[in-house]
Amino acid sequence: MSSKKISRALVSVFYKDNLDPIIHFLGKQGVEFVSTGGTQDFIEKLGYKVTPVEKLTGYPSIFGGRVKTLHPAVFGGILYRRDHAGDISQSEEFKIGPIDLVIVDLYPFEETVAGGGSEADIVEKIDIGGISLIRAAAKNFNDVLIVSARSQYQELLELLQEKKGASELADRKRFAAKAFDVTSHYDSAIFNYFNQVQQLPSFKASVTQGKVLRYGENPHQQGVFFGALEDLFDQLNGKELSYNNLVDVDAAIHLVKEFDGEKAFVIIKHTNACGVATAHDVKTAYLKAFQADTISAFGGVLATNQKLDLAAAEEINKLFFEILIAPDFESQALELLKSKKNRIILKQKQPLKVVKQFKSLLNGVIEQDLDLKTDSAADLKIVTKRKPTGEQTEALLFASKICKHTKSNTIILAVNGQLLASGVGQTSRVDALKQAIEKAAAFGFNLKGSVMASDAFFPFPDCVEIADQQGIEAVIQPGGSIKDQDSIAYCDQHNMTMVFTGTRHFKH
């Protein structure tokens, strides 16, 4: 039969919050409880009789609690098939009673790792009995209902109330799927902890939260975001984030993070920066960033690393934009910005802590370390006769930070604290430079005295020649070409300064 009435429940959980309504409901239905340890005490304090697991197994909890439920009297009661003559006969022979409901959660392994626990503490949080009970009950979904996490308690209670202490096959299969989601995630977390050291060539990523998006990159594509976005942001206004919104938000917060300790503002369009600036206040930083490309900023994603005040909000409010991100907002500023109901306003609650990135590729997945290297003054090798001034060095490092977050091939033109123009995603570095020069001219910038950053080395001296013709005086690049000397020689002949970082920043 599809409908199964619950008569006996095994309950053994680490987290007991919100469990009591379920215990009360089952108890009033006359369900027999089987439990152990702290959960047994919890149920008994609620006023219900409990059969200790030790009474079923004939063994006490041994080896410091490592072995409690691993016994045929427990697993037999879960796994035996109620419609199988052989199983029924053996259950009678060995006096194994059926268990119809299993409520079990797992030791907090991930929480212990995240909390900086010792290896001994972490290893003790690798659940053995619990995960075995979950898998057993989920496997026998034809007869057993499995509840594998406290997040499922409310759903279970509503189900029991609706169906008067019974469950249908569809219910049990749904909870079984949730159970295997829990166990597979748990095992992945354990493997990834050990693999930090072992570095086995195996890829396992598990995210248990997902949100279906309106669509993917385009309306004919489906899209889902997997992750706990609410841990990173509070959305204070606006419509739901789309696939493309999320991609641009990711680009914006990675770029603005480069300017910790400074007051910075960035404007992103299709993952590339069309405006970046630092200044003594947010309003000035925004106006300088906006100045770099007043056209592309329309419909862009804006981000700052400072509390956004009313003065900045009054300027930003003049622009049509999709998203604004800040660590905090003055109340008057927020009230003004919320005047447009569709504007997405995000309060970033914590910095990103991601150190790896991956994506599907061909018939597999490709993974790499995140590019966490930010070029600093200590990295610079001056390769020309002319040395950069202090201001030029600051401008070069500023441009290098933007370059790192721009699609290759890329050239960044800047002065200290302001992006002037960029050439992005070009098939040649010369094309990227020409694009940047043309864009700078279109927005009224004179490049004399500015600096140039390149994400990779110059295979030929053509880029420094073109830069020189525009009045650009300083260049930062990784170096590493067999023809580096040609570019160095040109700079020396034309009184330019150039530094090598030794680090390439391709971005594809």
Catalytic residues: 139, 270
DSSP 315: H
**CA–CA–CA angle 343, 349, 352 (5° rounding):** 100
* 160 vs 29: CA distance, rounded Å: 10
| Cα–Cα distance, 288 to 308 (Å, whole number) | 16
Cα–Cα distances in angstroms (integers) from residue 25 to residues 7, 37, 168, 196, in the given order: 12, 21, 18, 45
Q: Identify whether the C-beta of residue 36 lies closer than 8 Å to the C-beta of residue 61.
A: yes
Q: Residue 110 in contact with residue 187, Cβ under 8 Å? A: no
Q: In which element (H, E) is residue 211 found? A: strand 210-212
The residue assigned the tokens 């994400």 is 455
How does 450-478 read in b/e, with b if 16+ C-beta sit within 10 Å?
bbbbbbbbbbebbbbebbbebebbbbbbb
Which phi and psi angles does 207 have, rounded to 5°?
Answer: -130, 125
The secondary structure of 388-422, three-state, reads CCHHHHHHHHHHHHHHHCCCCCCEEEEECCEEEEE
CA distance 333 to 317: 9
Q: What are the two backbone dihedrals, phi and then psi, of residue 411, each rounded to the nearest 5 degrees?
A: -130, 135
Phi, psi of 249 (to 5 degrees): -60, -45
Tokens of 292: 């770099």
Give Cα separations from 229 to 23, 26, 226, 234 (angstroms). Answer: 33, 36, 9, 9
Sign of CA dihedral 385, 389, 393, 396: negative
Q: Based on C-alpha coordinates, what's the Rg of the chain? A: 31
Distance CA 245, CA 247 (A): 6
Half-sphere exposure of 98 (CA within 13 A, CB side): 19
φ, ψ of residue 252 in degrees (nearest 5): -65, -45
CB atoms within 10 A of CB 348: 21
Instruction: Tell me which amino acid residue 91 is.
Output: S
Burial of 137 (C-beta count, 10 Å sphere; 0-12/13-18/19+) = buried
Of the CA atoms within 13 Å of residue 40, those in its CB half-sphere come to 11
